Amino acid sequence: MKEKLTIKDKTFVPYIRNAELEKAIDAVAKRIEDDYRDRKDIPIMLCVLNGSVMFCAELMKRIEIPLEFSSIRLSSYEGTISTGVTRKVLGLTTAIKNRDVIVVEDIVDTGKTIVDLHNLLIEAGAREVKICTMLLKPDVYKRDLKLDYVGMEIENKFIVGFGLDYDQLGRNYKDIYILDE
């Protein structure tokens, strides 16, 4: 783990080591597998691009039941600030009518994006929508929507690494770094 990262005009310091992330992913994968093992219908794992790509890939490698994979791309951030508006950048790539969908998200903070996505999937006819997130900021998540699988809870700080970015940079680091204030 690097001692510091500089991305554009911001400096980040170590926050969560990859080994901790791996343990959390193992636990989430086991819960998903336990929940879906005896079902006859194959669920769709819906990767929310771009941030959850690393989490989703690691999660899928650990789940040994049949899964279908699909993706969607949404955006609500500019720099380090949420715009408060969820934009659909790339729509659903799979038909989900009467299907069980497991949404895989990198991080949930205020929950605006995940609630908007949940509603979009229900309107598209999904039979069941479960929410899986690697990281949750419980101090700012005040929504009624249940999060079914949470890897880790973290403080309400800006982070990069393991798929999370600052202006599209920093996603490639295997560890997570926090903004050095």
Q: Where does residue 10 fall: left (phi above 0), alpha (psi -120 to 50 degrees), or beta otherwise?
A: beta
Evaluated on CA atoms 91, 47, 101, 118, the torsion sign reads negative
How many angstroms from the chain centroid is the CA of residue 119?
A: 17
Q: Which residues contact 16 (CB under 8 A, 6 or more apart)?
A: 152, 154, 159, 162, 175, 176
Active site residue: 109, 116, 139, 167, which one?
Answer: 109
The Cα 146–Cα 69 span in angstroms is 22
Phi then psi dihedrals of residue 46, to 5 deg:
-100, 105
The Cα 45–Cα 17 span in angstroms is 25
DSSP 93-135: SS--TT-EEEEEEEEESS-HHHHHHHHHHHHTT-SEEEEEEEE
Specify whether 139 is catalytic.
no
Q: Supply the residues annotated as catalytic.
A: 109
